[in-house]
Structure 1
Amino acid sequence: MSVLQRTRGLGWGQRYVAVEPTHFRVDYVINPFMDPAVQPDPVLAMSQWQTMVRTLEGLGASVDVLAQRPDAPDMVYAMNLGLGLVRADGTRQAVMSHMRYAERRMETVSAGPFFAGLGHAPSYVGSDGVGAHLEAGDAFAFGDALVVGYGPRTEELALKHLAADLGVRVRGLRITHPGMYHLDLAFCPLDERRALVCPAALDAPSAAALLELVPEPLVLTEEEALTTFAANSVVVGSTVVMPACPPRVRTKLEEWGFDVVIVDVSEFHKGGGSIRCLTNPIDITVGRDLPAVPGGEVVIPPEA
């Protein structure tokens, strides 16, 4: 296999939405990383965020920036605003999140019109956003399906609505680890065969299902995932943009032909998110990155 073949990366991840951290702070506790007594440095946070955006743009990605609401300190974690898709007929859609916690629900009030301005018509799973909880940080296109974590934030019922509304296969994975409350803290697709995976985030049947789904997983330990946020990375072409990278992980990524670029976003770890949480890809295409399944289908491993 040639280096060119090994480093073609993902079909998506060239266009992102991000939220400028003008009002980023820790006002409450909705995950184990948050402590209002430990506040981010606003100047350093802004500098880290700007470096991240410049890095993505330098790699050829585009970044559309949404202003942060003063009353929404977590809005900077743009991955959870909604799921941006390009439908098979070329129309663009943004399935808006229905946040588990009321502290974040006002974010989509501003994000919906912003997505619409980018050409992505806002929608909600099943109804008008008052039904089952869905958070976009739990959803990734990989293989033959939209892989969706559920449990701490996204509800299992949302998977059924998502599959039917989009006409795709949804593979549900049950998240059980309190520190990896979104799938984006435990799963990072790299290309069509490879992904960073932390099985410790999931119950045993779901961990087994994910490892079976990924032909060549790069398995992260629980400690690596929680202390380095390595799975909360993004891929642009053949470059993996990471907040940190354990040496053995870097060795394997480079062996596979990927470049690794480290961007320090440690101020945002105080709110429980890293590079993936700060960026929302809106160029996933049904029929290319995500196979169409008429009527939709949900596949969920039995609970342990």
Structure 2
Amino acid sequence: MAKIILITGASSGIGEEAVKRLMTAGYTVYAGARRLDRMKSLADAGAHVLALDLTDDASMAAAVDTVMQEAGCIDVLINNAGYGSYGALEDVPLEEARRQFDVNLFGLARLTQLVLPAMRAQRSGRIINVSSIGGKFGEPFGTWYHATKFALEGLSDSLRMELYPFGIDVVVIQPGATHSEWSQIAHESLLKYSSDGPYAKGATAHANMMEEGHKGSVPAQPSVVANTIVQAVQASKPKTRYVTGGLARTMLFMRRVLSDRGFDALFRMIGRQMAKSKA
């Protein structure tokens, strides 16, 4: 019998590609996202599409109820949905900061709460949290985004130990640079909040760096990260973390070997180089 998978953020990018590859691998996939219209091709290909808003408790409960009623179980939950809201901490309204946490952390945690009773009852299951290499280091103007990913790393580590007695695995996926809507949203939010005022010079330079950095061959295609997700699903004994995507291993290595100030200097150097190439 095919395993039942529920995945969030399935309307584009990594989530969409993961759905396709999971179905090809023979899994029954329930694909959730706010925008049902964006998932028509997935539905045509055989995915079960669900309206799922991680900021709406009723929406999450209804999605889990639908899967349980139709399939009877959830073997794997892939928490993939998330976005990057950038801007200087002083400039970003707390309302936007709270929304960043609602989507990237609290919504993920609530959906996990809703799925866990069934997994505990069957004494098996797998929670796969798509984090980021940004859960291991910070960058200027990414304060709220990186805070959510640092929090997700800690949540996942603690949850892994909590769920061990019930036979439930917790896995973290740490993508690096990836071609997706994420970079456009982060770039636009940075300019929206901090292109004027005291942080304008640094924010504009960082926005240019982000724009240049997501061009060319450095960012991975979403399929690269999607394949890693499939690997984590299929592994009989999965790793606790999978590092994947553009410059992911390089950046995490640099973070390990450099001091805090040394890593700060590396970011400033990259920014200056990007600014020169933009000029």
TM exceeding 0.5 = no
Which of the two has higher C-alpha Rg? 2
Which structure carries more relative contact order (alpha carbon 8 Å, separation 6+)? 1
Which of the two has greater strand per residue? Answer: 1
Structure number with the higher helix fraction is: 2
TM-score by length of 1: 0.28
Q: TM-score, normalised by structure 2?
A: 0.30
